[in-house]
Amino acid sequence: MRGEVDPQSSMFHYFSVASRIPADHPLRRVKKLAESALSAISAELDGLYARTGRPSIPPERLLKAQLLIAFYSVRSDRLFCEQLDYNLLFRWFLDLDLESGGLDQSNFSRLRERLVETDIARRFFDEVVRLAR
């Protein structure tokens, strides 16, 4: 019997993003390694940001996003930020829920450059590689 397409989708969906990521997906292990590496440099990341003012994109999210960009060969920050609106895997990896907005490309690029200029970004990537080995 031929199935039919139902153009009337459900209004509400109740599922966790993590439930949509296969248990054996390689990014599950990478996410644990990245979070471990981030915990090692958390105090230094705190030192880069003021205590007052408008909240910024968390540096953990910026650094983990760079891993995704490298792994999936995303060609630009603009394309990466666009993909965050519909890519569940990317949202899960960056700890973004389904209801929160994506990232603003111009802020993303500017803040990423600021992190890359410091030694912290290199140390993060080195630590992820070290842990993976």
- What's the whole-number mean pLDDT along residues 1-28? 82
> How many Cβ atoms sit within 10 Å of the Cβ of residue 94?
21
pTM recorded for the entire structure: 0.84
pLDDT tens digits, one per residue of 93-133: 999 988 888 888 888 888 888 887 888 888 899 999 999 99
Dihedral pair phi/psi, residue 75, rounded to 5° = -80, -15
Rounded-to-integer distance, Cα 21 and Cα 31, Å: 12
CB 33 within 8 A of CB 132: yes
Rounded-to-integer distance, Cα 45 and Cα 73, Å: 26
Token pair of 113 as six digits: 């450059």
| pLDDT tier, 67 (very low <50, low <70, confident <90, very high otherwise) | very high
Rounded-to-integer distance, Cα 17 and Cα 32, Å: 16
